[in-house]
Amino acid sequence: MPDRLLPPHRPRLLRRPSTLARAELVFAVVAALAWPLPARADEEPEPPPPEPPPPARTVRFGSPGVFVLSSDAALGIGATTVENSDAESFFVSFAPGFDWFVAPHVSIGIDFFASYVSEHPPGSPQTQTTAVGGGPRFGVDIPLGRSLSLYPRLTAGLESVQRGSISHGDPWLDAYVPLLVHLGPGFFIGAGPSVFHAFSNEKTSDLSLGGERTFVRAHVTFGAWWGGEPAEGVKPAGIVRHDLTADVFGGRGQFAFSSELGSSAVFRTNGRGTDMGAFSATPGVDYFVIDHLSVGLAVTFSYEAARGIDQTGGAVAPRIGYDVGLARGLSLYPHLSTSIATYHVSGGNADAEALVFAGNLYAPFLVHVGHAFVGFGPFLSRELVHTKGNVATSYGADLVVGGWL
């Protein structure tokens, strides 16, 4: 039987690849695709990822370059007339007090005042009093927490007071130690004791004319601050400054406070006994019920004892206001209020009690810095009822310092 024909011999490359050979082939293809190709000359390499920004350095109260304006400053002019009477008065006051931090937590400032008052009481001759004085002051801010600090200040100055042919010129010292609560960016409220002493050889009985005298009082102050540069040596006391566009004054739900809100207690002596003692308190606040529209209430209580005569008074003044934005950081904030006041005078030959009802309008232009504002504008007050005298009208312009939350 013939031998069977064998199949022709297949070349090795044409044989069916084994399983191992197929795996090697797949691995080679994948490796070839994953191998990075050299960058072309016309292609730029990708930039490295940006470095994280350095931590922000903030400006806080007490930083070098910070300017402080408090409610100790005053700028005003006004007059009062009384119907069916020759009684009248006129005043001008200018007290541009401010402080500037020249180093971390160390400030220098100026305490200057100038005033002119002309008074013509009913049945009495007219009197004119001019007072000018001032001097440098030094302060140190002591941080006690993130929103709390102690800010003692010492002022040394000279004064000159003249009424008619009588004049006095005396040196004086004034120390004030308020505890500050930093409620918002650029805004604080402070309260604390102060002592004022004038040095003089004069022993006048009328201490309003000068002479040696001492005032001891405790009072509330408002302040606004701005400017400044970040500093490593400034501890975190006070809320950081905001940009003017970060928040807008007059938004719904905000509370506004101003320098008319305050309290004080004063004792004045000439070294031979207390000449005058007084206490006053005016808690008041405004609340924006909707954007730009606010309602508020101020309550005043006062007591004064001087030269054997006691005077007690109180008032309630509901009010409504509307803030009108004029430009970035500038607005007009008119207030309309009514006030009901009563006072009682007793002692000596005086024994009287009166009730006064008045309408009041105040329209300051406000400059906003963070959560603080400084304003100046006209005011008008008209008594509608006065049970113990003729009704009076007062008008003029006044300065206001405040802030909002």
Q: Is residue 126 part of a domain?
A: yes
- Return d(Cα 271, Cα 197) in angstroms, integer: 11
Q: Is residue 305 part of a domain?
A: yes
- Return d(Cα 182, Cα 60) in angstroms, integer: 10
- Return d(Cα 245, Cα 329) in angstroms, integer: 8
- Return d(Cα 165, Cα 209) in angstroms, integer: 11
Q: Is residue 186 part of a domain?
A: yes
- Return d(Cα 339, Cα 358) in angstroms, integer: 5
Q: Is residue 57 part of a domain?
A: no
pLDDT at 231 (0 to 100): 62
pLDDT at 209 (0 to 100): 59
pLDDT at 40 (0 to 100): 53
Q: How many domains does the chain have?
A: 1
- Return d(Cα 335, Cα 256) in angstroms, integer: 12
Q: Which residues pair with 166 in a beta bridge?
A: 163
Burial 128-162 (b: 16+ CB within 10 A, else e): ebebbbbbebebebebeeebebbbebebebebebb
The first and second tokens of residue 116, run together, are 């002119």
**Of 347, 359, 345, residue with least CA distance to 317:** 359
Q: Is residue 77 part of a domain?
A: yes
Q: Is residue 31 part of a domain?
A: no
pTM for this entry: 0.71
Q: Is residue 90 part of a domain?
A: yes
pLDDT at 168 (0 to 100): 75
Are the C-beta atoms of residues 133 and 110 closer than 8 Å to each other? no
What residues make up the domain containing 172? 66-404
CA distances from 13 to 10, 26, 82, 342 (A): 8, 17, 125, 119
Here the CATH number for the domain that contains residue 288 is 2.40.160.20
Are the C-beta atoms of residues 260 and 74 closer than 8 Å to each other? no
Residue 62: is it exposed, middle or buried by C-beta count within 10 angstroms (0-12/13-18/19+)?
A: buried
**Of 171, 178, 190, residue with least CA distance to 152:** 178
324-327 and 98-103 as β-strands: parallel, antiparallel, unpaired? unpaired
Are the C-beta atoms of residues 223 and 400 closer than 8 Å to each other? no
pLDDT at 295 (0 to 100): 95
pLDDT tens per residue, the chain (405 residues)?
444 444 444 444 444 455 555 555 545 554 555 455 555 555 566 666 666 555 445 778 888 999 998 877 777 888 888 888 888 889 888 887 789 999 999 999 988 888 899 988 877 788 888 989 889 999 999 999 888 999 999 999 998 888 877 777 789 999 999 999 988 778 888 888 888 888 877 655 555 556 677 888 888 888 888 888 776 656 655 555 444 444 688 889 999 988 765 555 566 565 555 556 666 767 678 999 999 999 998 888 787 776 677 788 888 889 999 999 998 889 999 999 998 988 888 776 767 788 889 999 999 999 888 788 888 899 999 989 888 878 889 999 988 888 888
Q: SS3 sequence, the chain? A: CCCCCCCCCCCHHHCCCCHHHHHHHHHHHHHHHHCCCCCCCCCCCCCCCCCCCCCCCCCCCCCCCEEEEECCCEEEEEEEEECCCCCEEEEEEEECCEEEEEECCEEEEEEEEEEEEEEECCCCCCEEEEEEEEEEEEEECEEEECCEEECCEEEEEEEEEEECCEEEEEEEEEEECCEEEEEECCEEEEEEEEEEEECCCCCCCCHHHCCCEEEEEEEEEEEEEEECCCCCCCCCCCCCCCCCCCCCCCCCCCEEEECCCEEEEEEEECCCCEEEEEEEEECEEEEEEECCEEEEEEEEEEEEEECCEEEEEEEEEEEEEECEEEECCEEECCEEEEEEEEEEEEECCEEEEEEEEEEEEECCEEEEECCEEEEEEEEEEEEEEECCCCCEEEEEEEEEEEEEC
Q: Is residue 45 part of a domain?
A: no
